[in-house]
Amino acid sequence: MFELHHLTAREQWDWLDRGEITPLELVDHYLDRIERLDGGLGAFVTVTAERARERARALGAAPDRRLALWGLPFGDKDLSARAGVRTTYGSRLFAEFVPDASDELVEVLDGAGAVSLGKTNAPEFGLPSYTESLVAPPARNPYDTATGAGGSSGGAAVAVAAGLLPFAPGSDGGGSVRIPAAATGLVGLKPTRGLVPSGTGLDKLAGLVVPGPLARTVGDAALLLDVMIGEEPPPFSVRAPRWDGGALSNAAVRGEGRFHVGLTTTSPWDAGYDITVSAEASAALAEAVSHLDAVGHGVEDFALDESDAYAGAFRTIWQAGAAGIPADGADLDQLEPLTRWLVERGRGVGARELGGALATLSAFERSIIRQFRRFDAVLTPALALPPRPIGWYSQTDPELNFAQQVQYTPFTSFVNVSGLPAIVLPVSVTAEGVPMGVQLIGRPGGEDVLLSIGAQLERRILWQRRHPPQW
C-alpha cells in the first residue's frame, strides 16, 4: 500500500507544490511513524510534535512555494542548538539544557521552509563514530537492530532509513555523515571545506567539521546541500564551481559524464593500526567497480603514499579538540569514559605538540591533493567492516575504543583532514541483508562530479528501492 514516505523528498515537494497534500498532512504522517516505530530504533532524542504542527499550519496558511524546502520535514542533529528546544549534545552534562538562540544552520533550513520534527540522536559531543550515549537509547540500524547505526549522525541516518524523515542534515568531522550513511543504506555527502557558509569548518581546529546531508537518493542529498550552501558565493576562497542556487541538484538529476576514477584500499592509518578490509567491504567495492566499468568510467588501482605521522597527529588533534568541553571538577565524572579520556589527554597537549600536529596534517593535506590530482574521483570502501553490534566498543579501555573506531572507519577521517568532498553510496548488501557502501572522494569543489557518478550508479543499482522492515 502506498504511503507518503514512499515518495522522495523531491516528489513530496512536488505534491506540496501542486496542493495534493498540505504541510500539516505530511508532518502528521511522519510524526505518526515516529510515535509508532522510534521506540525500538532510537532515531530521536526529542520530538517536538506540537511545535512542528504549529509551523506546518503556518506554512500552509501562507504558502510560499518559492522556498526550496517548503513544508518538508527534517530533524535537527542534537549537536545543533534550536532556541527553546532541549539540546543535549549527547551528554548527561546537558541533559536538560534549553538554548536561547539557534545555530546558523538551523536558521538556514527554517528559512528555506523546512519543518523540524525534533532532535536526532548523537553521541557525546559528536566525538565517537557510533551513537550509543548515556543520555539516550542507542541509535539502532533499522536493517539489523542488534547492530549500531554508526555516528555521529546516527539518529539522523536511522530516521531517514526507516522512513521517519525524508532527509536530514548531519555534521562530519571524521566521517560522521558518511559512516552512518554507509551502515544504514543511505547517500551521505561531506562537502568541501568552506563550501557551506553556516559550517565552513574553518573555525574548527584543523578545519575538520562541516555539515552535510543524509538522504535515500542522490537527488535528495543534492537538494538539501544546495539549500545549505545558499545562493551567495561562499565567504571564503573555495574552489567551488557552479555554487549558484540549484546547481548541484542539476548535476544530480543529469548524472552525465565519463570520469577517471582512482581505486585504493590503503589508508593513512595502516602504519599505526591493524586494518583489515572485510570480505563484505571488498564485495561492495567490486560491485561498484563493475558498475563504473559498465557505465564507461576508467578505474585505476593505486596505493596511498605511506604516512607514519598521520595517526599520531590526528589523535593529538582529536584530543585537543575535546579539551574545551565545559567540564571541570565533579562534572568530569558525568562524562563517558572515552570523552573523559579525550578531554584529559587534550588538556595535556602543549602548544609545541599541537603546532607540530597541525603542521603534519597540513602537509598531509597537500600530499593527498597531489596524489589525487590525476583522478576526477577516488573510490575507497566506506567502512572496513560491516555494521558493528551494539555494545561492541569498549567502555572501559579508551585506547581500545579508539583503535576499534579506527579499524571500523579507516577511510573517512583523512578526507576531513584534506578538506575534500566525499560521498557514500549504498551499492551493496551483505548476505544477511545489511547495507554496505563505498566512498567516492572528489577534487576541491568537485561535488558536481561526485553527484553525477552517484546518479549514474543509482539508476543502475536502484538502491532507493531497498528498505528495512520498518518501512
The residues assigned a catalytic role are 77, 152, 176
Question: For residue 191, which of 236, 232, 153, 228 has the smallest C-alpha distance?
Answer: 228
CB contact at 8 A, 91 and 135: yes
CB contact at 8 A, 137 and 90: no
> Residues of 72-106 as b/e, b for ≥16 C-beta within 10 angstroms?
bbbbbbbbbbbeebbbbbbbbbbeeeebeebbebb
**Which phi-psi region, left, alpha or beta, contains residue 28 (left: φ > 0; alpha: ψ -120 to 50)?**
alpha
Question: For residue 217, which of 255, 170, 259 has the smallest C-alpha distance?
Answer: 255
DSSP 331-380: GGGGS-HHHHHHHHHHHT--HHHHHHHHHHHHHHHHHHHHHHTT-SEEEE
Half-sphere exposure of 255 (CA within 13 A, CB side): 15
Task: Taking the CA atoms of 378, 370, 171 and 102 in sequence, report the sign of the dihedral they define.
Answer: negative
Would you give the end-to-end CA distance of the chain in angstroms? 11
Question: For residue 9, which of 190, 225, 192, 197 has the smallest C-alpha distance?
Answer: 225
Alpha helices, H only, 19-129:
23-37, 49-61, 104-111
Residue 246, SS3 per DSSP: coil
HEC per residue, 142-175: CCEEEEECCCCCHHHHHHHHCCCCCEEEEEECCC
Residue 126 C-alpha cell reads as 559528536
Please state the separation of Cα 376 from the chain's center in Å.
22
DSSP 376-440: SEEEEES-SSSPPBTT-S-SS-HHHHHHHHHHH-TTTHHHHHHT--EEEEEEEE-TTS-EEEEEE
CB contact at 8 A, 181 and 157: yes
